[in-house]
Amino acid sequence: MKVVAAIVFAVLVGILIPVSAQEAATLYSPLQYNHDHSRAYFDFHTGEVAKRGAAWDLAYGLLRAGGDDDWFQSGNAVDSRTVIKDLGKLKWTDIFAVPIIEPLPKLKPGERRTITIDVSGADGADGANGAPGAAGAPGRRGDESNPRGEMQGPPPRDPFPESNVPLRGPNRDGKPKIDPIFVKAIVGHLYAIHVVNDTSDFYALFRVDALTRGDNCTISWRLVPAPTPNTARKEN
């Protein structure tokens, strides 16, 4: 209780202090364990790995994108507006500010949230120029009143002006474009999560203490007071 009280006081007066971690939990990827989801979800309210079908705030190993299986995902319930922010490589003993994280927009009645995942590769080099075309066969132009085929009147309008012809498609840099509900799991990184749904609105911190790529992830965590404009800068 003394640690929690100290953290609350520090946030209120704008002092940045190290934050103590709670006990750890290990999450296992369903992609590695024959779609076994029993150990993939975490509930920050209970501080326990959530059973499949129960409420959860954080999941690990549900996505395979860009040849990588190590992704966190925020809650996918219809009312979930939760967002996770990677704060970078930090230890619990470091001094840092918890950012203000805007939740996802609230859905309108009947509306569904669209998830975007784009792992398209990078654009290749431009191709070589084509070979010159062959000369056309001689033929008759014009009519009997114009046996030489001389052009009469203004030149015909070009149906495909250069300004209307796209020279190439959209640029792709090869970097996966992943929806904000997913965040890369990186060992040694600390994350802030703003859990928002119809019944909850709170902040938590968690850190990746150990990671076996594509298999399991061990996190330590702690609930923290919501930051204020005086204690943190706004993050989108």
**89 Cα distance to chain centroid:** 18
For the chain, give the percent of residues with pLDDT over 70. 61
Strands 100-101 and 234-235 come out as parallel
Token pair of 235 as six digits: 């993050």
Pairwise CA distance, residues 66 & 76, whole Å: 21
- Longest Cα–Cα distance in the chain: 105
pLDDT in tens, 84-136: 999 999 999 999 999 999 999 988 888 877 666 665 655 555 555 555 555 65
Pairwise CA distance, residues 141 & 151, whole Å: 9
Mean pLDDT of 25-38: 93
pLDDT in tens, 163-196: 343 434 445 555 656 667 889 999 999 999 999 9
DSSP structure class, residue 215: T
| pLDDT at residue number 112 | 77
165 residue type, one letter: V
CB 204 within 8 A of CB 223: yes
Lowest-pLDDT choice from 90-94, 99-103, 148-152, 211-215? 148-152
Q: Quickly tell me which residue has 């431009």 as its tokens.
A: 126
What does the mean pLDDT of the chain come to?
76
- A 10 A CB-CB count for 68 gives 15
Distance from first CA to last CA of the chain, Å, rounded? 32
CB 92 within 8 A of CB 20: yes
Q: Output the 3-class SS for 154-207.
A: CCCCCCCCHHHCCCCCCCCCCCCEECCCEEECCCCEEEEEEEECCCCEEEEEEE
CB 231 within 8 A of CB 224: no
Burial (0-12, 13-18, 19+ Cβ within 10 Å), 22: middle
CA dist list (Å): 5 to 19, 85, 236: 12, 25, 28
Helices and strands counted in the chain (H then E):
1, 14
